[in-house]
A and B are shown apart, each in its own frame.
Chain A
Amino acid sequence: MSLDVYQRLLALSQARAVPAASRAHRHLSPRPWLLTGYHLAGEPSAPVAIRYGSFRDSPKLLTVAEPRDRALRFAALGGLARDLATYLSRYTVTEPVVRATGNGRELDVDQCCVDAPQIVVPNEATAHWVGLLGQYLRTLDDPVLAAAGAHLGWIASRRHLPGSSVLLTATDLLTTHWRTGQLPTEDGHLGRLLAWIEPPAGSDAWQAARDAEAMPPAGPASDPSWDQVVLRPALERAKEQGDVRRLKLAAAEVLGGAWRDTWAAVDLVRMLPPGEHVAKRWESDRWSWTRHRERVLAGTVSFSARLSDVPAYRFLHELETRTAALERQMALDDPLVMARYLATGEAVAGVVIKRDPEHTVVNSGGRSVLRPLLWVRTPAAFDRPAGTELWWGKVGMVVRAATDDTVELMVTSGAVTRPKLGLLPDADAEIVLAPFGPLQYFPDNLPDELPWPTRSSRPAPAPEQDDDLDTDLDSAAPAATAPGRVPEPRAVPAEDVAAPATAAPDEPRGLW
């Protein structure tokens, strides 16, 4: 049985969302920078209005009287760029931090920013838009706008990495911690999602969700009838009479809902105590921010629309490592997440009813070695076969046999020497045996350049000179000059794809 399905059914029957986590699994900055906005219909590069800032009661409002006019647009975005720079300047203080280097075995001390910025947006579409704005701005000659573009590019790139908290979406924050009774696609609507979690007094989730749907959308695409009835006259007035008051009033009103909802999402998750591993994951964001700042200062920051060659392989390794680590850490941090594994039978909960710490077996070398036995009484039959591996912290064990209410386990690691027998659980102890062992670290083992079987043998042409295409993300392995490489045909415009981060040189290796 999947706990997820059960929770959704429960939410459905109660007409109210059900908690899916009892810890906050995202880092929440004491001072996040929120952003909600609209762009012109069908034109993501033409912002109409953006509400942003770190102060919930005094947000900044950017409006563009004629969004199609590049000069006006950049003047307005210049204000946002300066405010972003002011916010980011709070995160420049560094402290010495011990980190693992090389293959994760050596330790080194390096300067790391004590904190990093955090951007919160209402939904996935706005997060994607932030990346597009960054891509758009960083090609400009204006140094303030270009710097803001580089920062937004870094911020947007972090969202592809599981466990990163640099760019949070309110919808993801809420769906990570609650289950609703509506369809997963409906959870993408921030207003509906909040209606399920906190329906107003006297109304059930369905009614509240319907009411929320009647409100202006959270963006960045606006409501077409609002475009027609409110925006169009306001823009005409601003254009013809130079009077932007009406536009500003309309924008403040229409973006107000998403602004309040995004703060509400942050507040809801902030009420949960943070998971134990969250700080460790945030440290990896701090390292990335530190390296990003260094690159911005040195003028070497660069982005790739699509990763290729060795960085692409490194990105996959990074994604796989982080995906597995996040899954494990969330379960170990949070009993309600671990309950999902109990429900599927991958984990076992029960009471230790008997122990035999002196039990020995003869190993393949003919020596007698200590392999303590435990008997655990379980509320339901354990339906996994003998040989299944389970862990209690660092103590690893295998299932020897199971009856309707008892599991017999043999300890195979972590407490198999006499001095360590004290690490075994006591008799009568209530324990949860998890399918997660100690975190294993695998080096990526990637070569500096692609070997011959995975690249074409035709001679490389001269490096492309095309300013529109941001290539060469990773200064350590310049893609365009890798020997023997033929550039992939570019079938999509660069704007269509957000730049995934290459986290390679940023991250402490093997620490989380």
Chain B
Amino acid sequence: MSSAGARHEAAIEEVWDRVRGTDRAVVVDSPPGAGKSTLVRELAKRLVAVGEHVPIVVQTNDQADDLVIALAGAGLSTGRLHGQDWTPPAGWPRTRVRTGTKLGELGGCDVVVGTAAKWAFVKSDERTWPLGVIDEAYQMSAAALVRVGHLFDRLLLVGDPGQLAPFTVADEHSVRSLATWPLDTAAGTLLRHHPGTPVIPLPVSWRLAPHTAPVISDAFYTRAFTAGAAPTDRRLELASLTHPALAHAAEHGWALLELPAAHVPRTDPALVATIADLVHQLVTAEVSTVDPSGPRPLSRADVAVGVVHRDQKAHVEAALQRRGVSGVTVDTANRLQGRQYEVVLAWHPLSGRRDASAFHLEAGRLCVLASRHRQACVVVSRAGVEEQLHAYPAAEPVWLGTDPPQVDGWEANRAFLERLHPHRIAAR
């Protein structure tokens, strides 16, 4: 076994020991693609093997569906607790899975998976569990944890600290005057109130390649991690001629495609067209993705476009539909959390903006966009982002009663751009 594999296994055994120990809560910090889902599946299996019932709290319906499919695939009898409007996705398992809008409909299931919003409807006088598992605990807000915390005597929180911080549609300044900060992360609020809680980092990213992992680790994480794959394990092969940015990214893992500097509306039509053209080329050219399991053609499900705002998503999707491209994921950073693709095209959050607002500077937003890929990531942007950063030094006030973010958004943005400097390509 490789040394990376050994370190990963050791971390998993440590988590298992802690879970079987006496700590009231355990936090697992997982960088992108560090085997968090595998860990949750493995722990659920071991817990069920020793006779436990395992409730799992996730944050979105997509995450719940993915996890249920994985757990059922591992042979566990799994219940999916869902809301009224839920419909099963394609590939929903036919056996070992029960679904229901109420806990009572899931009797006999060893594992029950639901979103935090759905678990909030379960009353603690109905039932409590000795141990609960929270997945994506850095995506979950303290406000969501307050609504489910009473269901569990002990908690295992698993998450990626580089994710987006929880947000609100309300005016944040009204909320900032509170003595409690309801938009803290679930893991953050637990660690704040229970400082003795053990935090176990997973040391190896299996998703990112050796040449892309250090950029993400340096720019966005306080606990360094390395790539588990060997440098020769993976590559993207382009048989036909494609855009230089795609060719560069296939070779180096990164490309920063820069359009001429301009201040443009949020739904920058030129950026939309550039991204749609890149996607079109990528899915029509002969591209194969190679990893230790062998080469295979790049499919549309392997490609994703990460954007910043929902209207950008709508415009890119519509542009793809006009080019006859379907099946490629287009979504905001917020909704891409926890997902993985071979190739990702990322809309730089600061592209074409006149200012650098806290929203667009958030480290988690850029981190999510830049860490969804296994093979290559093309960041598409208007030129001039560096100047923009220097013109807008971070001016967020320090809020009383909250912990400062572990990673400063402004510095993370600057560091990331610096690392991508050698991979710049000017758009034609």
Please list the residues of chain A having a beta carbon within 8 angstroms of any beta carbon in chain B: 1-2, 160, 162, 306-310, 312-313, 315-317, 319-320, 322-324, 344-346, 364, 383-386, 388, 402, 445-447, 450-457, 488-489, 491-492, 497-498, 500
Which of B149, B179, B317 is in CB contact (< 8 Å) with A454?
B149
B366 at the interface (CB under 8 A from A): no
Q: How far is the CA of A171 from the CA of B143 in the complex (A)?
A: 33
A364 to chain B: closest residue by CB: B87
Whether A457 and B194, one on each chain, are in contact in the complex, defined by CB atoms closer than 8 angstroms, is yes
Q: How far is the CA of A248 from the CA of B315 in the complex (A)?
A: 62
Nearest Cβ in chain A — how far from B42, in angstroms? 23
Q: Mark out the residues of chain B between 79 and 112 whose CB falls within 8 Å of any chain A CB in the assembled complex.
A: 87-88
B284 at the interface (CB under 8 A from A): no
Query: Which of chain B's residues have a CB closer than 8 A to the CB of A160?
Result: 174
Which of A383, A446, A454 is in CB contact (< 8 Å) with B142?
A454
Report the stretch among B31-39, B59-67, B165-173, B341-349 that lies at the interface.
B165-173
B222 at the interface (CB under 8 A from A): no
B426 at the interface (CB under 8 A from A): no
Nearest Cβ in chain A — how far from B199, in angstroms? 15
Q: How far is the CA of A346 from the CA of B313 in the complex (A)?
A: 12
Whether A453 and B178, one on each chain, are in contact in the complex, defined by CB atoms closer than 8 angstroms, is no
Which of A322, A445, A498 is in CB contact (< 8 Å) with B120?
A445
Q: How far is the CA of A497 from the CA of B176 in the complex (A)?
A: 10
Q: Mark out the residues of chain B between 132 and 190 whose CB falls within 8 Å of any chain A CB in the assembled complex.
A: 142-143, 145-150, 155, 168-171, 174-175, 177-180, 182-183, 186, 189-190
Which of B142, B186, B320, B400 is in CB contact (< 8 Å) with A492?
B400
Whether B190 and A454, one on each chain, are in contact in the complex, defined by CB atoms closer than 8 angstroms, is yes
Nearest Cβ in chain A — how far from B88, in angstroms? 8
Please list the residues of chain B having a beta carbon within 8 angstroms of any beta carbon in chain A: 24-25, 87-88, 120-121, 124, 142-143, 145-150, 155, 168-171, 174-175, 177-180, 182-183, 186, 189-190, 193-194, 265, 311, 314-315, 317-318, 320-321, 400-401
Which of A308, A457, A489 is in CB contact (< 8 Å) with B193?
A457
Interface of A is mostly: loop
B266 to chain A: closest residue by CB: A2
Identify the interface centre among A2, A309, A310, A319: most chain B CB within 10 Å of its CB.
A319
Given contacts A451-B150, A456-B194, A500-B178, whether A383 and B400 have CB atoms under 8 Å apart is no
Knowing that A316-B143, A447-B150 touch, tell me 15 more A-B residue pairs with CB under 8 angstroms: A162-B170, A162-B171, A316-B168, A316-B170, A316-B183, A319-B168, A319-B170, A364-B87, A385-B318, A388-B314, A447-B146, A450-B149, A451-B149, A453-B193, A457-B24
Nearest Cβ in chain A — how far from B255, in angstroms? 26
Please name the 9 residue pairs, one residue from A and one from B, whose CB atoms are nearest each other, closest first. Answer: A451-B149, A385-B317, A308-B179, A319-B170, A306-B179, A451-B150, A312-B180, A445-B120, A312-B178
Whether B314 and A384, one on each chain, are in contact in the complex, defined by CB atoms closer than 8 angstroms, is yes
Query: Which of chain B's residues have a CB closer than 8 A to the CB of A446?
Result: 146-147
Nearest Cβ in chain B — how far from A310, in angstroms? 8
Q: How far is the CA of A310 from the CA of B186 in the complex (A)?
A: 15
Whether B311 and A345, one on each chain, are in contact in the complex, defined by CB atoms closer than 8 angstroms, is yes
Q: How far is the CA of A306 from the CA of B400 in the complex (A)?
A: 11
Given contacts A313-B180, A447-B147, whether A2 and B174 have CB atoms under 8 Å apart is no
Q: How far is the CA of A454 from the CA of B403 in the complex (A)?
A: 15
Which of A308, A319, A452 is in CB contact (< 8 Å) with B174?
A319
Identify the interface centre among A364, A388, A450: most chain B CB within 10 Å of its CB.
A450
Q: How far is the CA of A386 from the CA of B314 in the complex (A)?
A: 9
A499 to chain B: closest residue by CB: B177
**27 CB-based A-B contacts, threshold 8 Å:** A1-B265, A2-B265, A306-B177, A307-B179, A308-B179, A312-B180, A313-B143, A316-B175, A322-B170, A323-B171, A345-B311, A364-B87, A383-B318, A385-B318, A385-B320, A445-B120, A445-B121, A452-B150, A453-B186, A453-B193, A454-B146, A456-B194, A488-B179, A488-B180, A497-B177, A498-B177, A500-B178
Q: How far is the CA of A345 from the CA of B193 in the complex (A)?
A: 45
Whether B179 and A346, one on each chain, are in contact in the complex, defined by CB atoms closer than 8 angstroms, is no
Query: Which of chain A's residues have a CB closer than 8 A to the CB of B120?
Result: 445
A159 to chain B: closest residue by CB: B174
Whether B311 and A344, one on each chain, are in contact in the complex, defined by CB atoms closer than 8 angstroms, is yes
